[in-house]
Every structure is written in structure tokens, then in C-alpha cells.
Amino acid sequence: MDKPFLDKLRKIDPYVPGEQPKTDNIIKLNANENPYPPAPGVTEVLRTFDAAKLAIYPDANAKALKTAIAERFDLQPSQVFLGNGSDDVLALAFQSFFCSDKPILYPDITYSFYPVWCDLFRIPYENMPLDEDFCVNVRDYDKPNGGIVLPNPNAPTGRGVTLEFLEDLLQHNQDCVVIIDEAYVDFGAQSAVPLLDKYENLLIVQTTSKSRSLAGMRIGYALGSETLISTLEAVKNSYNSYTMDAIALAVGEASIRDEDYFQQTCRKVSTTRDRSAEALRALGFTVLPSLTNFLFVTHPNKKAPDIFAALREKGIFIRYFKLPRIDNYLRITVGTDEQMDKLIAALKEIL
């Protein structure tokens, strides 16, 4: 090799982002996006924002947005951390809190980014298998560990755990940081927020990408004790002081402040989800109980990759994971009623 500079590059298996179909005439149920627009105040922000203000650096402490989030959860602004989507928040949290030689623990079937961050930051980890019904066994997490990360509800299964489960988990794990990834919590699951008062080692991560229709805006946040949040701030400020741009800060605030629109949108998605689950069961699908904006399904007579491909032919994009234990399952994002009717009609033809 005559290019010695190559030896100094970071060796990494490239993580390839999921497919984003380019054509317009499709039904996109593959990325757990919200089929409804963000709160009306978001449009108002874009229409009235003074572009001249973009010449100035944004507020590195993001006081206005942190205050809006803190007020919504009855917390202090110093208990709120912001990032470019919850992926950014989680990546910083992994770097900040999982500095032990002991492995961190998380389910074997879960968000696919966890092992990627562990590899990137050289964090040892151990997977705890879900049971046959894809449920988490809380006793699996009673062993010595360097930290825990648990999505509630879990993805791509859609299954949630109760507040009692979460408190049990925390009671048995006070020597490490426990991250509850609540990306999908707003569609019917129980948030761990009421436990923040009691557990200084609890970090909750949420996002505006799903329930607030702001996937395109990259706004995620963490809620936790001042101890955890100030550690996150220190690491983040050593990385990049100004991660949140001025428009994201204003858009995020407009969204968080509109509780009515938020509740109404989440209700619409949950109603369509439950109605779609019934329709899928009527077609013979096994549908896991979902507390999210997606359904995780399998059919006894037709292989998941075949259904996936057949739907794709018809311009309907859903998600298939070629992974152990779930390679005969499909993840279907909940769209509008109209989109789901078209999906059901297409599935009827395919089956």
C-alpha cells in the first residue's frame, strides 16, 4: 500500500440509512412518519421568521425551547437536554453515560442503532432475549451491568411495558444509568416521567419526529436529573456548542406549546391503528398489540418478504427486517385512514 494516510482513518462498517423512495405516487408506510402535518404554529414560524436573524448564532442554551418542554412535563429547564433528533441525543447519552467496563444491557430485538453506537464508542454490550411473545422479562436486567437502554414501547415490536415494570427495573438498577427511549410513547404507552423525581439515574429520551410530525426538523430531547443533564451538556458543548439551529428552536417551541393539536393528532393515529389492526386480523394476520404508530404483523400463509415485495409493486412501501426471530414479520407505519384502506385492499388482492 502506497497510501499510508489510509492507516490513520477510522475503520468502520458503513451504516446505510433506510430506503427513501423517490417517486411521488406512493404510499409511504416504511419510516414511522406521521401522516398529518405539524401544528399550525409551525407554518406561522416559517412565514414570519426574520431571515436577517440567521446571521447571528442561535442560543446555545436554547432557553425558550427548553422552558417550553420543561413546562409541559412539570420539570425545570435544567432537566431538559436538546439534540438533532433523538438519535443525536441517544448517541451523546451512550458516550456520556456508558463508560463502564461492564456490558450495557438491552433487548435482542430493538432499535437497530444501539449496537451501531456501541461499536462506534467501543461500549461492551449484552442482548437480553425477549420472550416468545416479544415481551421484556424485567428479571433479566437484575445482573451487574454498565447501563441499560430500553425502548418503551419497543421497536419494531410495538409492545410497551407498564410504569410498575419501569419502577421495578429502576429499583434493581440504581448503580448505572437507565435510559428509557420513548420515541413512540405518545401513542398510548406509559411514560417514565413520573419516576424522574425518585430516580436520579433515569434518563428519558423523546422525539418530535413521530407524534409531532417533525421528522424533517430534527428535534429530540432528553429529560432527567440535573446531574445527568449537565453531564450531557458538558459532552455536547465539547463537541459542538450550537447543534440546534434558530429555526428548529422556534419550530420546536411552536409545536410543544400546542398541546391540543398534539393530543388530537395522536388520537387520530391511535384510532386508525386500532381499526387497521382489526382489519389485518380479519385477513388472517397475527398483529402484535401496539402502543406505537406502527403495527408489527406476520401471516401464517404467506412469507413476509413476499408480501413486502408484492406491496412494493403496488407502490405501497412498508418495512421488512431480515433479522433473526423477526424475518417473517412486517412493520407497517400507521398512515391516514385512506392510506390504510388502500393497504388493506392491496393485501386482500395479494393474499
For a second copy, the binding residues in 225-254 under the rule CB under 8 A are 227-228, 230-231, 233-235, 237-248, 251
Q: Scanning the structure block, which residue is given the C-alpha cell 420539570?
A: 75
Report how many residues bind a second copy under the rule CB under 8 A: 89
Q: Give the residue, chosen from 3, 24, 133, 260, that forms a contact with a second copy under the rule CB under 8 A.
A: 3
Query: What x-and-dash track marks residues 144-183 binding a second copy by CB under 8 A?
Result: --xx--------------------------xxxx------
Q: Give the residue, chosen from 161, 185, 192, 217, that forms a contact with a second copy under the rule CB under 8 A.
A: 217
* Grid cell listed for 91: 448517541
CB atoms within 10 A of CB 21: 14
Query: What x-and-dash track marks residues 37-66 binding a second copy by CB under 8 A?
Result: xx---xx--xx-x-xxxxxxxxxxx-----
| Half-sphere CA count of 175, side-chain side, radius 13 A | 10
* Grid cell listed for 298: 406476520
> Rule CB under 8 A: is residue 91 a binding residue for a second copy?
yes
Task: List residues bridging with 331 in a β-sheet.
Answer: 296, 319
> Rule CB under 8 A: is residue 15 a binding residue for a second copy?
yes
> Rule CB under 8 A: is residue 206 a binding residue for a second copy?
no
> Rule CB under 8 A: is residue 87 a binding residue for a second copy?
yes
Give CA–CA dist 289/236, Å, rounded: 37
Q: Give the residue, chosen from 190, 206, 209, 290, that forms a contact with a second copy under the rule CB under 8 A.
A: 209
Q: Please give the single-letter amino acid code of residue 138.
A: V
Least distance CB 117 / a second copy (angstroms): 7
> Rule CB under 8 A: is residue 318 a binding residue for a second copy?
no
Grouping H, G, I as helix, E, B as strand and the rest as coil, residue 277 is helix
* Grid cell listed for 26: 406512493
State the alpha helices, DSSP H only, in 33-175: 40-48, 63-73, 85-97, 113-121, 163-171
* Grid cell listed for 299: 401471516
> Rule CB under 8 A: is residue 298 a binding residue for a second copy?
no
> Rule CB under 8 A: is residue 198 a binding residue for a second copy?
no
Contacts to a second copy from residues 97-126, by CB under 8 A: 97-100, 116-117, 119-120
Q: Which CB, 31 or 330, lies closer to a second copy?
A: 31
Gyration radius of the chain's alpha carbons: 21
Give CA–CA dist 252/221, Å, rounded: 11
> Rule CB under 8 A: is residue 321 a binding residue for a second copy?
no
